[in-house]
A and B are shown apart, each in its own frame.
Chain A
Amino acid sequence: MLRSATTWLLVGQRFGIAAITLVIVSFAVFFATELLPGDVAEILLGQAATPEAVAGLRTAMGLDEPAIWRFLSWLAGLASGDLGMSYVNNVSIADMLSGRLANSLRLAGIVTLVCVPVALFLGIASAMWRGSVLDRLVSMLTISVISVPEFMVATLAVLIFAVWLGWLPALSYGVDVDSWGAMLRAYAMPVITLSFVVAAQMIRMTRAAVIETINTPYVEMALLKGASRTRMVLRHALPNALGPIANAVALSLSYLVGGVIIVETVFNYPGVAKLMVDAVSTRDLPLIQSCAMIFCFSYLLLITIADMIAILSNPRLRR
Chain B
Amino acid sequence: MSMSLRLPTPARLGYSFNWVGRIGLAVILFWAVIAIIGPWITPYPTGEMVDFDYFGPVSQKFWMGTDYLGRDILSRVIMGARYTVGIALAAVTLACAGGVLLGMIAGVMGGWFDTLLSRLLDAFNGIPSLLFGLVVVAAVGSSIPVLILTLAAIYLPGAYRFARALAVNVNTMDFVTVARARGEGFAHLILREIFPNILGPVLADLGLRFVFIVLVLSGLSFLGLGVQPPNADWGALVRENIEGLSLGAPAVVFPSIAIASLTISVNMFIDNLPTRIRDRSA
- A residues lining the B interface (CB < 8 Å): 17, 20-22, 24-25, 28-29, 32-33, 36-37, 143-144, 147-152, 155, 158-159, 162-163, 170, 254, 257-258, 261-262, 265, 276-277, 279-281, 283, 285, 288, 292, 295-296, 299-300, 303
Contact = CB atoms under 8 A, between A and B. Distances in A.
B150 to A, nearest CB: 10
Contact of B259 (A20, A148, A279): A148
Given A25-B124, A155-B256, 18 more contacts: A36-B136, A37-B140, A147-B215, A149-B215, A149-B222, A151-B222, A152-B256, A155-B238, A158-B245, A163-B248, A261-B223, A262-B223, A279-B138, A280-B134, A280-B138, A280-B223, A292-B131, A296-B128
Contact of A25 (B127, B134, B263): B127
Contact of B136 (A32, A144, A254, A258): A32
A152 B260 contact: yes
A147 B238 contact: no
Q: Which 5 A-B pairs have the closest CB atoms?
A: A24-B123, A280-B138, A36-B139, A147-B263, A21-B123
19 contacts: A21-B122, A24-B126, A28-B127, A33-B139, A36-B139, A148-B259, A151-B222, A254-B128, A257-B128, A258-B129, A261-B134, A262-B130, A277-B134, A280-B134, A280-B137, A283-B138, A285-B139, A295-B128, A303-B126
A147 B128 contact: no
Contacts of A37: 139-140
A158 B224 CA distance: 20
B264 A148 contact: yes
Nearest to A300: B126
Interface string B104-125: 0000000000000001101110
Contacts of B66: none
Contacts of B215: 147-149
Contacts of A280: 134, 137-138, 223, 225
B21 interface: no
B138 A163 contact: no
B3 to A, nearest CB: 30
Q: Which of B119, B128, B129, B238 has the most A CB atoms < 10 Å from its CB?
A: B128
Interface in B115-174: 119-120, 122-124, 126-131, 134-140
Contacts of A295: 128, 131
Main secondary structure of the interface of B (DSSP, over half): helix
Interface of B: 119-120, 122-124, 126-131, 134-140, 211, 215, 218-219, 222-225, 235, 238, 242, 245-246, 248, 252, 256, 259-260, 263-264, 266-267
Given A151-B218, A155-B252, A296 B130 contact: no
Main secondary structure of the interface of A (DSSP, over half): helix
Given A258-B130, A303-B126, A149 B218 contact: yes
Contacts of B140: 36-37
Q: Which of B123, B135, B223 has the most A CB atoms < 10 Å from its CB?
A: B135
B126 A33 contact: no
B219 A296 contact: no
B219 A285 contact: no
Contacts of A300: 126
A299 B246 contact: no
A286 to B, nearest CB: 11
Contacts of A159: 245
A21 B157 CA distance: 14
B68 to A, nearest CB: 15
Contacts of A303: 126
Contacts of B123: 20-21, 24-25, 28
Contact of A33 (B127, B138, B224): B138
A285 to B, nearest CB: 7
A250 B204 CA distance: 26
B246 A258 contact: no
Nearest to B222: A151
A258 B212 CA distance: 12
